[in-house]
Amino acid sequence: MNQVIKQLKANLLTGGNKTALIYSNGKSYSYAELEQLSGRVCGWLKQHKVGKEDTVLITLPRGIDIIVAMVGVIRAGACYTVCESSMAPERIRYIAENSECKEILHQKLWEEIISGKDCGEFADPDEHDAAYIVYTSGSTGNPKGVVHEYGNYTESIRGKQFDGQQICKDQDILAINSPLNFVAAVDYIMNALYAQATILLVETAIVKNTGKLMELYENYGVTYTFMTPSLYKSVPAFCSTLQKIQLGGEACVGLYNDKIRLFNSYNSSEGGRDLLLFDIDQKYSATPVGQNRGGEEILLLDENGKPVADGEIGEICFVNHYVRGYLGMPEKTAEVWREGLYHTSDLGRRENGNIVLLGRCDDMIKINGNRIEPAEIETVSKKMLHLSNVVVKGFITEERNFIVLYYSDNVELDPQKAREKLARKLTSYMIPAYFVHIDEIPMLPNGKVNKKVLEAPSAEDFRQEYEAPANELEQELVSLFEQVLELSPIGVNDDFYELGGDSLKTIQLIMEYDSDTLNAQTVFKCRTVRRIANEISLTLEEQQNSGAHVFESPCQKEMEARKHKYPLTEFQINMFDYQLYEPTSTMWNLEDMFSFDRKDTDAERLYQAVKTVTEKSAIFRTRIGFDEFCDMVEYMDEEAVPALRRVELSEKEFHRIKNTLNHPFKMIGSPYIEVTFFQTETKIYLHFLAHHLIIDGMGIAALLSAISEVYKGEEMPLDTFYSFLMDTANMRDGRKYNEARKYFEETYSSEKWFKCLEPDSQIIDHQGAVAPVHIPVTEEKIAEIEKSTGLSRNGLSAAAILLAMAAESGEDNVMLSWVYHQRTDLQKKNAIGLLISQLPIGLTMSKAETLGDIYEEVREKINAGMANSIYDWSLRDATGFDDDMMLLVYEGKMFDWQEISQIGGAPVAMDSQFGSSEEAANIRKMFTMAVEDETGITMNLTYLKNAYASSRINRFKEIAERIASVIFSDADPESISVKELLQS
């Protein structure tokens, strides 16, 4: 057996409770759990006949389950390739096809896999069996797959030896920051598991904030990590536990640390291991990457393939007997693997036996350690930006590495919109920093582009006419701009990003300013000192004018907020009015039930957890009444007792009453949520019944999460529902409120909008019916379409319904409203209550030529709506059934109760859940509720049965089905005519 695989097997079997894997969100697995879970993955693969030379594509979300899957594939003796699910869908789809993967391990399948049987097997692969495929940037517009064999695991372990010792020890906690599809991730994972060390996988958002990254390292006691020099330089102060840092991926200049051992390394996707390693003993103007340390020789060759003398420049070339080349690309493989040597196109020179990197001899560049082929960006840019003459070039300076896109088309690009479009198909590090218009693309006599004459844009090229700061705040921001960007002088109208700002520098700017009045969104939106200063000043002025108290803590703010009364939102008032149409209807009730096995659950502990949460959550004491002006208000009644019951009964008695628990709520002065704790001889049942007037689905999820946390012995997260109410009330009639009102009125008030299918007959009663529109589509395909279009499945569904409304009615201006959850920050995330609002999307069909134009307009309307959501324009003038607007409610998979399932809870199907379909239409003439399951998306067109002729509903359903099928397909939206789509 391969020595590395043999040692991996031994470590899994002997590791026991020692922690093997940690994700920075707190999830962890011991070596025993890793052995068991990876055995189940192996068992599932064996059941599906996956083995030697079969490829498995892993497309799970970033997290330690990806590593579990990798180990499971190794145990099956198969080959894996990883695509974190956040990767661009087009890229994932290409990799799935190119790798000819036999199975795809994705999120929906994962629970089934790890719930299966542990096969207990560990394959004994040949050194030359396919082990893993790493995809790297390709010049054709698609990535290239490098096939590595099992022998390369041995090379990986050998590559991280220094002075005869493994760098990674069993006592190390190794932090991995890179994406798991990178070859470096494979290298570090195998070295850590080989040493029986602990791996800490870091969330991407934390990697970009080096201050929080060091806090994380300190909390977990990280001793060893890998960083690019760029990331290393951005760290404000290193944590006390770090002992070893390996640098690589780009040029290392002037870095040395007398408290932490630094290594400079050289690797590539085609190498699969550290080819060179250098222990940094002092500051170097160009830090060496090391020398041959045994094994295959590293050569420096001249243009004729001959070795160069010491001190002369040559191309770095090496041998790796365990790499097959590029998958399905024999010509490209032959081009770079010549006579058994891989030609890296990296230039180097030997100095005192060590190799020093000097740059590239081709177009490929590295940005923050990421390998990039400019041709790939050029290909995508031509398609996404509708350009024909494009050249992309990378620049490397001491301060930063960046990409420039040059174009000669007779158009003027908006850089921000261009970046947003490219982000649908390119990863973030491939987005150009600058878009530069030139008169013509420079060419060589042989017909190739002459990139050498394209010079790097200077910051001076993007400066505005200098204007000095006009006040103290602007002066402070100018100083911070100059400090972070290392440029001087900077005027108040200069653009932060065009002067060299990026995400790391944005974080640095915010940290230096150190006030909650400045965040990343403000920097990105405002970009200049003047605009940022104006936004900060307005925010401070609003706080002063509102008399808003500055609280010492979120807890103090919430406790104060609970002392006051707040006007109902337009959404609540609208819901209240509809309830009056059918006072006995339970349509607006949210009912959920969960079961627990008594043998696995501590009943008393669970009850106390529920009791604690009901007592601490303000919603259980929230009432609705009238103030002195007879306006409806909601408030917290401190004297009220939460509606929590504990009932003991037999299993038979429980099932007799289970579906009789849903009942109408009194609308004034009574509780709007109640919980019943049922105990039978074998089960515990938690039953929740609440009125939608006071809570939404995500509020219930927050409630269940709180119960789960308390049951596990954690502190209950602070319920911030009344803080939300206070903030909302304070903003009413303020600047942002009036700006929002102005936006909606200017955008929508000048047109007459078609908002809902007009009834065919007079409405006699409110009996409902449902016409389901089903689109068979996989979760993976939906994710691909979301990424390629820049629209969520909510937005895609909105586009389908709007187009169907236009096609059925023949109207040009069509409008619907959609439900917006509003939970966009940590404060709102834990709020147990009703936060949702309705936002409009109005489209004029004649203004759009292609489906791509429709998507762009929907994106703009959704984003602008969310930015102005403080003003609920959709419901301002709504008067019941007389002025209904088509409503889209995207429920997805209804609610994913992961938190409660962690403590043993399982959802129980309720006959009365969400009301019957006959009740559903009581609320309006027509609305659409979209749900997902394993077969696809179903858009339920719910309508008043007696108001519409069946022939008309069938026609609308057929139109919606046809249009939705196009939207959730592989069709290129830029090639689909809106006119033809509406008429066909």
Residue-by-residue DSSP string for 142-178: SPEEEEEETHHHHHHHHHTEETTEESS-TT-EEEE-S
DSSP state of 899: H
Read off the pTM. Answer: 0.53
Residue 845 has pLDDT above 80, yes or no: yes
d(CA 82, CA 178): 13
d(CA 136, CA 95): 11
Instruction: Give tens-digit pLDDT for 91-105.
Output: 888 899 999 999 999
Beta-carbon contacts of residue 264 (< 8 Å; ≥ 6 apart) = 247, 248, 252, 277, 278, 280, 287, 288, 289, 290
Q: Which pLDDT belongs to residue 917?
A: 37
Residue 276 has pLDDT above 80, yes or no: yes
Q: Which pLDDT belongs to residue 923?
A: 56
Residue 232 has pLDDT above 70, yes or no: yes
Residue 799 has pLDDT above 60, yes or no: yes
Q: Which pLDDT belongs to residue 351?
A: 86
Do 793 and 858 touch, CB atoms closer than 8 A? no
List residues bridging with 138 in a β-sheet: none
* 55-59, 164-168, 680-684, 764-768: segment of lowest average pLDDT: 764-768
Residue 225 has pLDDT above 60, yes or no: yes
The per-residue DSSP string of 550-597 comes to: --SSHHHHHHHHTTS-EEPPHHHHHHHHHHHHSTT--TTEEEEEEEEE
Do 73 and 56 touch, CB atoms closer than 8 A? yes
Task: Write the CA distances from 179 to 64, 396, 429, 917, 977, integer angstroms.
Answer: 12, 22, 12, 46, 38
Single-letter code of the amino acid located at 617: S
Q: Mean pLDDT in the chain?
A: 86
More confident residue, 888 or 751: 888
Q: Which pLDDT belongs to residue 370?
A: 65
What is the mean predicted confidence (pLDDT) over 56-67? 94
Closest of 47, 120, 110, 341 to residue 898, by C-alpha: 110
Q: Which pLDDT belongs to residue 524?
A: 65
List residues bridging with 325 in a β-sheet: 147
Q: Which pLDDT belongs to residue 914?
A: 36
pLDDT confidence band for 131 (50 / 70 / 90):
very high
Q: Which pLDDT belongs to residue 912?
A: 46
d(CA 509, CA 523): 9
Beta strands in 208-312 (DSSP E): 224-227, 244-247, 261-266, 276-279, 298-301
pLDDT above 90 covers a percentage of the chain that reads 43
Q: Which two tokens stand for residue 424?
A: 């649908």
Phi and psi angles of residue 288, each rounded to the nearest 5 degrees, phi first: -60, 160
Q: Which pLDDT belongs to residue 502?
A: 65
Instruction: Give tens-digit pLDDT for 545-588.
Output: 666 666 777 888 899 999 999 998 888 887 887 777 677 778 78
DSSP state of 17: T
Q: Using CA atoms in the order 1, 118, 178, 183, what is the torsion angle rounded to 10 degrees?
A: 30
pLDDT confidence band for 829 (50 / 70 / 90):
confident
Residue 33 has pLDDT above 90, yes or no: yes
Q: Which two tokens stand for residue 410?
A: 């007779």
Handedness of CA 754, 755, 757, 763 (dihedral sign): negative
- Say if residue 813 is exposed, middle or buried (CB neighbours under 10 Å; 0-12, 13-18, 19+): middle
Q: How many CB atoms lie within 10 A of CB 412?
A: 7
Q: Which pLDDT belongs to residue 326?
A: 92
Q: How many CB atoms lie within 10 A of CB 913?
A: 17
- 3-class secondary structure for 415-439? HHHHHHHHCCCCCHHHCCCEEEECC
Residue 372 has pLDDT above 80, yes or no: no
* Cα angle for residues 49, 53, 58 (degrees, 5° grid): 75
Instruction: Give tens-digit pLDDT for 485-543.
Output: 888 889 999 888 778 776 567 767 877 886 657 765 577 667 799 999 998 888 777 76
Residue 275 has pLDDT above 50, yes or no: yes
Task: Write the CA distances from 416 to 401, 431, 526, 600, 792, integer angstroms.
Answer: 20, 11, 12, 54, 20
d(CA 550, CA 566): 19
Instruction: Give tens-digit pLDDT for 694-738.
Output: 998 889 988 998 999 999 888 898 999 998 898 888 877 677 788
Residue 627 has pLDDT above 90, yes or no: no
What is the mean predicted confidence (pLDDT) over 750-761? 86
Q: In what order do the strands lie in the sheet with 622-626?
A: 566-567, 632-636, 622-626
Instruction: Give tens-digit pLDDT for 673-682.
Output: 999 999 999 9
What is the mean predicted confidence (pLDDT) over 310-327? 89
Residue 337 has pLDDT above 80, yes or no: yes
- Say if residue 660 is exposed, middle or buried (CB neighbours under 10 Å; 0-12, 13-18, 19+): exposed
d(CA 916, CA 619): 26
Q: Which pLDDT belongs to residue 74?
A: 97
pLDDT confidence band for 882 (50 / 70 / 90):
low
d(CA 853, CA 847): 8
d(CA 982, CA 984): 6
Beta-carbon contacts of residue 313 (< 8 Å; ≥ 6 apart) = 300, 347, 348, 349, 358
List residues bridging with 940 in a β-sheet: 772, 929
